[in-house]
Amino acid sequence: MKYYHKYQKELEAAGYRVDEHGYVWDSMGNQSAGEDNYGNVQSKDANVTEICRVAEAAPKPILKKIVAKKKAPAKKKPIDTLESGD
């Protein structure tokens, strides 16, 4: 996963596009930011840097673990038997 893929939702909401290679493009088609093959991140647009900084500082939602309740064992019903002997 590339660096800017973590912020793809926030960047797209601001009008940027993140491609599959991790590059960020503005609405005019200019490259605004990217990541090279060695993991070095560069940004030419201060807005991209600010969007990522704000998204990183935003509190993450706390997920609660849902535990399934165990069902009580079913009561056994007596089996009706037919007796022959009439």
Chain-centroid distance of CA 46 in Å reads 25
Residue 6 CA to residue 52 CA, distance in Å, equals: 9
- pLDDT tens-digit readout, 34-78: 998 888 999 999 999 999 999 999 887 777 787 777 777 777 777
- The encoded tokens of residue 4 equal 């800017």
Q: What is the pLDDT of residue 67?
A: 77
Question: Is-above-0.85 flag for pTM?
Answer: no
Does residue 85 carry a pLDDT above 60? no
Give the residue extent of every domain in the chain: 3-55
The dihedrals phi and psi of 41, each to the nearest 5 degrees, come to: -105, 135
Q: Which pLDDT belongs to residue 45? A: 92
Query: Over the stretch 4-33, which tens digit does the pLDDT of each residue have?
Result: 999 999 999 999 999 999 899 999 999 999
Torsion sign across C-alpha atoms 21, 24, 26, 28: negative
